[in-house]
Structures are given as C-alpha cells and as structure tokens.
Amino acid sequence: MKFTFVTLFQNIVEGYFQDSILKRAIEKDILHIEYINPRDFSSSKHGKVDDTAVGGGAGMVMNPQPLYDALNDLKIKNRDVHLIFLTPVAKSFRQNDAKRLAKKSHIAFVSGRYEGIDERVIEKYADEVFSIGDYILTGGELASLVICDAISRNVDGVLGNSDSLTIESFETNLLEAPSFSKPENYENNGVPSEYLKGNHSKIRSLKLALSECKTKFFRPEQLLKHRTRKSYEK
C-alpha cells in the first residue's frame, strides 16, 4: 500500500517511519511512503505558498495554486489515489475508517498549515476529510500520521500477529480487557489469579467481564452499543 504525504514539512513526518513496526513494513515492501512539497509547485519566484485571507481575518491561508498543481500532478500520475484532507472541522476519524481505508491501494494525506487551506482546494480535490479530535493543532502532519498508523495496522502483513487486531478495543464496542506482563507479582501487586491457572475458557469469561467493567467505567456509551447489538443478534 502506498501513502503520499502532501506537506510543507516532510521532516516532521519522516522520522515516524524510521523505527519499529512501520519501518519493518517498509523494508518488507508492504508499505511505500512518498512526499510531495506544495512549495515545489509554487509559480512564485520565491516559492510562496500562503497569503493573507481575502475578506480579512487573522493569519495566513495556504494559496490554491501550489496545491492545485501538486494535486493535479499526483492524480495524473496515480489514477487510483484516494485524497484525504486533515481539518479540525470534519468528523472524527474512527477505527471503522481505519479498517475500511486499509483496503485502498494508495492514500494521500494533505496537511494544512497556518490558518488552513483555501476552501476551493478542499472542495475540488478531497475524497474525504477527517479531524482527529476537537482541538487545534499547528498543522495536519501529526493528524495524518495518526491516521496513517491506524490504517497501516490493518494492512495485511504489517503486524507480526494479526490476532492482535481482532481482540483490540473498539472491535466489538468493548474496550480490551486489562493486560499484564511478567513478572506475575510485581512490588506485591499480583495479576488476577485466574489468568495463571491455564483454564482458557475461564480466562475468556473473566476477560469478557473485565472488558465490560472497563468499558462501563471509561466509555459507558460504548457498553450500551455493545448490549444493544448483542440483544439484536439474539
């Protein structure tokens, strides 16, 4: 799968792929990453990419021209590319989106900076727009990395053990049960004794009960969804 980052700040993005799971996926040719800097497409002598807002208002807005040219070029060279713009005003990205988008062959993330991107660019080129939450970041790079990471986990071959995907939080509306690592007793604090007895059916029931407790505490609305779905399936 290919990801293209359309960004004025490639350095911010690059580091994320230089370690761990995503680095290995790139080495195994499962993921391919490329970068496009809209500044390279600016028709102005000094590579200008922003200007003051028409109609007034604080700050600078990214000009349409460099982005139009950069995205036109991208689309001509990659007919199957799916263009995602990052913006705080869109709906929040969710796990279902990660799973759905993992089936695409090529996704490009367009990151805004300053006061954002000229609206005409978004209207012309966006296949989808996403926010990663109700707060304002200085740019879209972090948001695009968050989304790219969540999608990548769902691409075949990226995770060493794909079972991890099916037991993770949000797969069934329930949050994942608490996990423990070794040692079994650390600073006088033990793991639930049932986890140690090797009876897998009992461990499964305990984990389900703990999942429900955790979901009720942290995300009660998710538990309600889980219960509604279960009663519907009966």
**Residues at the site binding ligand SAM, with contacts judged by CB under 6 A:** 86-89, 111-113, 115-117, 131-133, 135-140, 143
Q: Which is nearer to ligand SAM, 19 or 134 (CB)?
A: 134
Q: Which is nearer to ligand SAM, 34 or 115 (CB)?
A: 115
Q: Which is nearer to ligand SAM, 111 or 172 (CB)?
A: 111
Minimum gap (Å) between residue 52 Cβ and ligand SAM:
14
Q: Are 4 and 106 in contact (CB under 8 A)?
A: yes
Q: Are 13 and 35 in contact (CB under 8 A)?
A: yes
- Strands 50-52 and 60-62, by their bridges, are antiparallel
* Angstrom distances, CA of residue 128 to CA of 87, 118, 191: 10, 16, 44
Q: Are 38 and 111 in contact (CB under 8 A)?
A: no
d(CA 155, CA 1): 8
Minimum gap (Å) between residue 140 Cβ and ligand SAM:
3
Minimum gap (Å) between residue 176 Cβ and ligand SAM:
25
Minimum gap (Å) between residue 164 Cβ and ligand SAM:
26
Q: Using CB positions, name the residue nearest to ligand SAM.
A: 112
* Angstrom distances, CA of residue 119 to CA of 54, 123, 136, 180: 12, 6, 17, 48
SS (H, E, C) 142-186: HHHHHHHHHHHCCCCCCCCCCHHHHHCCCCCCCCCCCCCCCCCEE
69 three-class SS? helix
Minimum gap (Å) between residue 56 Cβ and ligand SAM:
14
Minimum gap (Å) between residue 224 Cβ and ligand SAM:
26
Residues β-bridged to residue 5: 35, 109
Q: Which is nearer to ligand SAM, 91 or 202 (CB)?
A: 91
**Closest among 150, 160, 165, 138 to 3, alpha carbons compared:** 150
Q: Which is nearer to ligand SAM, 149 or 176 (CB)?
A: 149
Q: Which is nearer to ligand SAM, 133 or 178 (CB)?
A: 133
